[in-house]
Amino acid sequence: MSVKVLNDKVILEHAGSSVEIYYYGATVTSWNYRGKELIFLSKKSFLDGTKAIRGGIPIVFPQFSKASDPSAETAALPQHGIARISNFELLEDLTDSESVSIKLGLSDSQISESLRKFWPKKFKLIYTVTLKDGALKTDLTVKNEDSTPFDFQALLHVYYSVPDISKLSVEGLINVSYIDKVNKFAKGIENDQFVKITQPTDRIYLDVPTETIKIHLSEDFKEGFTLQRNNLKDTVVWNPWIETAKSLTDFDDDEYKQMVCVEPGHVSDYVNLKPGESWECGQIIEYKP
């Protein structure tokens, strides 16, 4: 096992697998399991810090969508907030016989002035990425270092690599209420045990009660992922499909066939964090070949 520290990223290696994390956005851009890439990264994605990385696992903070209420603290911030377009710093690396991990940090003093003026809160993020044999764990800690409370949302925007979108299904969302962003934010209840992607999909599943969500990559359910969420009550399922894919400058026209986002988050309302307090969340993704 090893930790390779480069100018723009860190690479973790363990048990024949590797994970690549860019400082920009602390975005995981690759999880290679014994020669098989498990995380989707668009071949058109910008990796030079000029634009948010399209793919991987971007961190969404302190807001998910643009705030509908113009009086909200985060109303002036860009879509998905500031973390994914800011440079984190490497704090430490940790290794033992079963895993290798790193901690990355972001504080308000590292945010550009153009963004800080829209959200002038004092905060610190600590993001821990841990690679185990067949599993990837990411944990986020938010600390309020201001003198007053602030509200925020958080989400881990995971792009899974998919061999064939027609064979994919997501299990664990049946009977869960959702908001359908594609259909003018209409509300509904999921009736399918196995959710298929057959059209533009952008749903926020609310207060998901199941402990785990399964992403099946094959119709026989042999290959896929198991997602365990920690303190992230909502889950977003997204695929741009044909027309939206064509409209994205950092996404190839046919790449919608090769990915799906299943994103654990706290996005249906806001977390209120008091001065000096911390809030923690995370996920564990296990891969079954």
Beta carbons within 10 angstroms of residue 170's beta carbon: 26
| CA end-to-end distance (rounded Å), the chain | 21
Instruction: Give strand ranges (E) for 85-239.
Output: 89-95, 99-107, 123-132, 135-144, 150-156, 159-161, 169-171, 177-180, 186-189, 194-195, 201-205, 212-216, 224-230, 234-239
Whether residue 209 has pLDDT greater than 90: yes
Catalytic one among 80, 157, 216, 266? Answer: 157
Which 3 state secondary structure label does DSSP give 58? Answer: coil
How does the average pLDDT of the chain come out, rounded? 96
One-letter identity of residue 110: Q
277 is catalytic: no
Catalytic residue among 20, 190, 263, 266: 263
Average pLDDT of the residues in 192-197: 98
pLDDT, tens digit, 9 for 90 and up, residues 230-286: 999 999 999 999 999 999 999 999 999 999 999 999 999 999 999 999 999 999 999
Q: Is the pLDDT of residue 145 over 90?
A: yes
Helices (H), the chain: 113-116, 241-247
Q: What pLDDT shows up at residue 26?
A: 98
Strands, sheet with 17-22, edge to edge from the N-terminal-most edge strand: 2-5, 9-14, 17-22, 28-33, 36-37
pLDDT in tens, 8-65: 999 999 999 999 999 999 999 999 999 999 999 999 999 999 999 999 999 999 999 8
How confident is residue 71, by pLDDT bands cut at 50, 70 and 90?
A: confident
Q: Whole-angstrom Cα distance, residue 152 to residue 156?
A: 14
pLDDT at 68 over 80: no
How does pLDDT run across 76-127, given as a tens digit for each residue? 898 899 999 999 999 999 998 899 999 999 999 999 998 999 999 999 999 9
Is 153 assigned a ligand-binding role in the annotation? no
Q: Name the phi and psi angles at 202, rounded to 5.
A: -155, 85
* pLDDT given at position 283: 98
Closest CA to 257 of 269, 268, 245: 245
User: What distance in Å separates the CA atoms of residue 21 and residue 103, rounded to the nearest whole number?
Assistant: 11
State the alpha helices, DSSP H only, in 104-159.
Answer: 113-116
Which is more confident, 36 or 69? 36
- State how far the Cα of 16 lies from the Cα of 95, in Å rounded to an integer: 15
Specify whether 263 is catalytic.
yes
Amino acid residing at 43: K
Residue 89: the pLDDT is 98
Which ranges constitute the DSSP H helices of 181-284? 241-247
Is 116 annotated for ligand binding?
A: no
